[in-house]
Chains A and B, each alone.
Chain A
Amino acid sequence: MHSLTFDVAHMLAGSLVLVSFMQLYQDRLYALLNIYALHALVLTASVAWQAFIQDAPHLYVTAGIALIFKAIVIPIVLHRIIVRLGIHREIETVVGVGPAMLLGMGLVALSMVVMLRVTAEADPLAREDLAFALSVVLLGLLMMVTRRNAVSQVIGFMSLENGLVLAATGAKGMPLVVEISVAFSVLIAFIVIGIFLFRIRERFDTVDLQALDQFRGERE
């Protein structure tokens, strides 16, 4: 009984969760970066579809930002940074791939249970969108805590943010969505510039955040 519009929106949001899972098990930075670009592409499609079915032209701006900024500019810049820093080899994960995937599945189940239960009265489209968005957010968080490398933490944060954009565009008629997605792009630009300008490697000798954590100004 669901219409085609619903099915397409559902498929796109679901694919975003799937791509989030793909990010979890990438153990090389280049591959991770490519998957992130894919993540941003799926987000673009999803936002554009929402713009189409909600008849909300301003959402095309958000989709445009996602496409140009997140799917093209950021991956290229990060790619160059990785080359510059010479850290294109392996990523160290704190927990293994297996446990990370299991944790991820648990988080998705959790967000389904929580969101579907509390939004019983909302319209089905927004409802499922929200559940998927929360899954993407939680998977992004999981990625940030299971990685030690600064670049992959940033990618985790960016995919978390994609989840938020999905939620914001799914909430029909929400004001300020474009402004918020611009604000987030500024935030991300800051992070990327931060990695590059501060030249973490030069200062720290490594982008391995575990090594950074050992210094806290508390040692004698």
Chain B
Amino acid sequence: MKLDALTGILLIPAVAAALLAALPGYRLTARLNVLAALATFFTACSLFVVQPKSGPYLLVDDLNKVFIVLTTFVGFTTSAFSASYIGHEIEIGRLSPRFVRFYHAMYQVLMFAMNLALVANNIGLMWVAIELATLTTVLMVGIYRTHEALEAAWKYFILGSVGIALALFGTILVYMAARPVIGEGLYAMVWTVLVANSAKFDPALLNVAFVFLLLGYGTKVGLAPLHAWLPDAHAEGPTPISAVLSGLLLNVALYALLRFKMLLALNPAAIAPGPLMVTLGLISCVFAAFMLYRRRDIKRMFAYSSIEHMGIIVFAFGMGGGLANFAGLLHMTMHSLTKSAIFFAVGHISQVKGTQKIADMGGLTVTNPVLGWGLVLGVVAIAGLPPLGIFMSEFLVVSSTFARQPWLAVILVLGILIALGGLFMRLNTIAFGEPRGPTAKAEASYVPMFAHLAIVFTAGLYMPPALVAGFENVAKLLG
């Protein structure tokens, strides 16, 4: 195997994971973790300069380049946030040094698994990578070993495993459909070969396969009604993991779904995958919007907000067509950046307050102005108010839908507005009013949070033409 950027984004996290598992001392390992994530990010960026050759196992094309760069970027900023977050957790004795070593190693294993899932050209390999990513996050969700954390990890584990099992059945069915056309063996599972021959596959088999894949990977995307694991896993794990789960892992599962959607779209006799995705997306969006109102735990609330946004994204990709795909991609990018920024803020807030209960927080803009206003800005962004990036993408989703299916657009807007109400109701309690709970200063690193918010803010006002052209190109690829 030749050493290039493609193997680099896999090798760096793998080597870093081994190193981090062996090295003691959290200061050193936290820095090494950041360094490895940064190196992976730079390597990923170099994919745009020199595009490595794709083989039967690994693949780089315009679609996954976007995902890889986003994943490695958020992976890097989260590792920077995680360094200060974990430092505090050690100080208050919530995590022992042994667990921190394990945590850092797992963080890099997770980065490896996500990168592998994104570059896999073989649908079996992609499945194995997503399984690995699920396992590592299960371990990290349960790392606090509290009653709630273990329950969350168990629930995530069982539901995630069922999802993954269904996805494997779908993968086997795709192979069965491909075998008569491509022949036995490796190439009947290689995505590029599958796409080239998809039109000749048995449509009935493909249909059944897609239903399994949608249910299987859809569980990992967190689509309602398969979302039950998501709020618990977000709430009970360490906050950097909540940020990575929401910002990245959901995207990776979505990416898998998109690959299979492209496969189906090329077969004229197969069912259109769009309407299925539109339905699940809308249900998730509206359901999660209502659920926002009854949340008492701050991390659970933002977990439901993730379900809502994944719903919008799946809806946009389900609608298909150049504009809707463009909007979906943009929304996915903006959501990843904004939601991880919010979790960075929430992590420090819950450390200051010593709790995640919304009722015990209050007046943050007075007691901790930087954190408080950071959170306000993040929530304003995630709720989709102008002029921030999410407003742009939501506007594009809604307007492109209005032109084709006005009724669906009405439901979608309703969901977005309901979510906006829920978010602001809770934000009012947390950020304004009487200060409640401890008001100590946070030893926080604000750079990752504000870096994300700055990007989201800029994207709302101005997008570089090169980026727009790149997204348009990918949107066309998605069909």
> Which residues of A come within 8 Å of B, CB atoms?
114-115, 117-122, 126, 130, 133-134, 137, 141, 144, 150, 153, 157, 160-161, 164, 167-168, 171-176, 179-180, 183, 186-187, 190-191, 194, 198, 200, 203-204, 209, 212-213, 215-218, 220
Contacts and interface: CB of A to CB of B under 8 A. Distances in A.
Q: Which label, helix, strand, loop or mixed, suits the secondary structure of the A interface? A: helix
Contacts of B185: 173, 175
Contacts of A175: 122, 124, 185-186, 188-189
Interface string B186-201: 1011000000000000
Nearest to B127: A180
Nearest to B134: A187
Interface of B: 122, 124-125, 127-128, 131-132, 135, 138, 142, 145, 147-148, 150-151, 153-154, 157-158, 161-162, 165-166, 168-169, 172-173, 175-176, 179-180, 184-186, 188-189, 202, 204-205, 207-208, 232, 235-236, 295-297, 300, 356, 359
A84 B208 CA distance: 43
A118 B232 contact: no
A186 B138 CA distance: 14
Given A164-B165, A164-B169, A118 B204 contact: yes
B300 A130 contact: no
A180 B176 contact: no
A194 B172 contact: no
Nearest to A179: B128
Minimum-distance CB pairs A-B, first 10: A173-B184, A118-B204, A176-B124, A175-B186, A212-B151, A167-B172, A183-B128, A217-B148, A118-B208, A171-B176
A117 B168 contact: no
Contact of B135 (A130, A174, A187): A187
Most B CB contacts (10 A, CB to CB) among A119, A161, A204 go to: A119
A117 B185 CA distance: 25
A101 to B, nearest CB: 22
Given A164-B165, A175-B122, A217-B235, 14 more contacts: A114-B208, A119-B202, A121-B180, A130-B176, A171-B175, A173-B179, A173-B188, A176-B128, A176-B189, A183-B128, A186-B135, A213-B151, A215-B148, A217-B148
11 contacts: A115-B208, A118-B208, A130-B173, A137-B165, A171-B175, A172-B184, A173-B184, A191-B157, A203-B145, A218-B295, A220-B296
Contacts of B125: 176
A126 B179 CA distance: 11
Contacts of B202: 118-119, 121-122
B297 A160 contact: no
A117 B179 CA distance: 18
Nearest to A190: B135
B127 A157 contact: no
Nearest to A212: B151
A174 B179 CA distance: 9
A190 B184 CA distance: 32
Contact of B172 (A114, A168, A187, A190): A168
